Amino acid sequence: MSRLLLLRPPSIFSKFAYSAAVTMPLGLAYLAASLLEAGHEVEVIDALGEAVNHIGISYSPTVQYRGLSTPSIIARVTALAAMRKIDAIGITTMFSQDWPHIEDLINALHSHLPNLPILLGGEHATAAADYILENCTAVSCIALGEGEQTIVEYAEYLAGHKSISEVSGIVCRHNAEILRMPPRQRMRNPDDIPWPAWHLFNLEPYFSTGEGMGVERGRSMPLLATRGCPYQCTFCSSPTMWTTRYVMRSVVNVVDEIAYYMQTYDVSNIDFFDLTAIIKREWTINFAQELKRRGIKVTWQLPSGTRSEAMDNEVLREMASAGCTNVTYSPESGSTRTLSVIKKKVKLLRLYDSIRHAKKNGIFVKCNLIIGFPKENRWDMLQSVWAAIYFAFLGVDDTGIYPYSPYPGSELYDYLRRTGAIAKMDRAYFQRLMTFMDLTQIANYCEDVGAKEIGFYRLFGMCMFYGLSYLFHPSRILRSIRNYKQHKSDTIFEERLFGVLRRYMLTKASP
């Protein structure tokens, strides 16, 4: 038996970010559940959830963190180590823009507890494993990709039941050498993965804050119905993390989990965190019908973006009747040329039809667009701006226009490294990734259009969308005022606006 500490670092964001969702540590909860099922002991530190009302300055005056400070985390870990409750620390590193803060935290932990191995996992750790091991000597090991089986085998190695060479899917530092073990195959049946071990975490701060990935509709829990994505968009690191293997849980297993959360945590809303939630229409219809058959009254939403192909009028009608309130589409571009270049298999006319059906069935709709891809030209971007304006005519409730950000592990990132547009990974590069959610600056990687022009298109497109939306639907203004007073939201715009106001108040209150 081994004893592992699983650590979720604070949330990192630009001082001027308009979106910084406060989400539960779903990945860590899954890892904890697998460790417990295998007979190991688990301690957790959720640095965000345990100090959700504290905002401090990170490694730069324009970079903030939300959660426990590094000295507070070190004190907690040191106390656990003194009681001999941990054999190693596992740290999740999902987002590349968080890395400088996490690296400083790791180095501080290592300086206080040099004999305690540090294991990293997550999307950034998988995509940048070689860079991390070369530049952060405090890291002992990195788990690549899907981590539940890997962390269990690593725990067995710590307990002396395996050699390090028997742990698949890792890159590690061993006897002054860097060892890369054979890759791990994806899990065959996602129903075999134990549900997240939420009993180890204090979830009340998340319920009371209400600043999750989706809109605020009461006590919300995150849930995964699928794993992976079968597509190969060039701007996405998912193929590196998950491969292109897409697996779906059974409808009964998913609905059982929802029912358990409602009974155990008094949950009233589910946020699906899936990379691509809806691909097979038959599964979606069966899921909606199973909720209704059991009489489960819960709202649910798809806040992270999904595809339109399988969401026709029949599917959306079933979804709405079973409690679906919000859907996010991710067409990424209004230009068919750009869609082809970035390998985004979206048919815009079908997308527009799906949006009409969603609105007809009373579902709130958000659409995501990205401009500034390396090979885009001015006309491509103007087509995306026009798409945003057209969304307003269709009755779409939210539209985000984001500047392109090159994430490690994606095909476009590799292209930019080859061409020299990204000279190296450093703190300046990681900080530039934060402009994705910052209206005050643009980190430009487009070869034909400048940063200021891209910034203008972004602001113009979003202003036109929201101006027309409120012009066509003036009642939305009164709804937003009412929702703010009632601590709820119907749209992502409302949720992010209210979140900015809360963070501003917290920043003023923090020492």
> To 10 degrees, the CA torsion angle through 158, 159, 161, 167?
-20
Read off the CATH number of the domain in which 381 is found: 3.80.30.20
CATH number of the structural domain spanning residue 105: 3.40.50.280
46 in the same domain as 160: yes
Is residue 460 domain-shared with residue 344, that is, in the same domain?
yes
What confidence score (pLDDT) does residue 83 get? 87
Same domain? 442 vs 353: yes
Q: 144 and 260 share a domain?
A: no
- pLDDT for 67 equals 96
Q: Which residues does the chain have with pLDDT short of 70? A: 504, 508-511
Number of domains in the chain: 2
Inside any domain, residue 357: yes
493 within a domain of the structure (yes/no)? no
Instruction: Tell me the pairing of strands 220-223 and 269-272.
Output: parallel
On whether both 234 and 140 belong to a single domain, the answer is: no
Give residue 508's pLDDT: 66
pLDDT of residue 243: 84
Q: Are residues 169 and 224 in the same domain?
A: no
Of 493, 468, 463, 461, the closest CA to residue 479 belongs to 493
3-state secondary structure 161-196: CCCHHHCCCEEEEECCEEEECCCCCCCCCHHHCCCC
Q: In what order do the strands lie in the sheet with 220-223?
A: 220-223, 269-272, 299-306, 324-332, 364-371, 398-403
Contact yes or no for 240/127 (Cβ under 8 A): yes
Q: Which of 180, 203, 230 is the last residue of a domain?
A: 180
In a domain, 27, yes or no: yes
Q: Are residues 247 and 299 in the same domain?
A: yes
Domain presence at residue 354: yes
Residue-wise pLDDT for 168-220, tens only, equals 999 998 777 888 999 998 888 999 999 999 999 999 999 998 787 888 889 99
For residue 500, being part of any structural domain is answered with no
> What DSSP designation does 212 have?
S
Q: What's the confidence (pLDDT) of residue 193?
A: 96
In a domain, 120, yes or no: yes
The pLDDT, as a whole number, for residue 188 is 82
What pLDDT does 478 receive? 83
SS3 state of residue 227: strand
26-54 per-position pLDDT tens digit: 999 999 999 999 999 999 999 999 999 99
| Same domain, residue pair 354 and 443 | yes
Query: Is 88 in contact with 106 (CB distance < 8 Å)?
Result: no
Neighbours of 309 (CB within 10 A): 15
Domain membership of residue 135 as a residue range: 3-180
- 157 and 10 co-located in one domain: yes
Spatial distance between the Cα atoms of 116 and 139, rounded to a whole number of angstroms:
10
pLDDT of residue 212: 79
Q: CB–CB of 213/224 below 8 Å?
A: no
Residue 427 domain-assigned? yes
Report DSSP letters for 360-380, one per residue: HTT-EEEEEEEE--TT--HHH
Q: Within a domain: residue 496? A: no
Residues 309 and 240 in one domain: yes
pLDDT, residue 275, reads 86
221 close to 267: Cβ distance less than 8 angstroms: yes
56, 18 Cβ separation under 8 angstroms: no
Residues 156 and 288 in one domain: no
Q: What is the pLDDT of residue 510?
A: 61
- Single residue among 160, 180, 200 that ends a domain in this structure: 180
Looking at the fold, whether 21 and 163 belong to one and the same domain comes out as yes
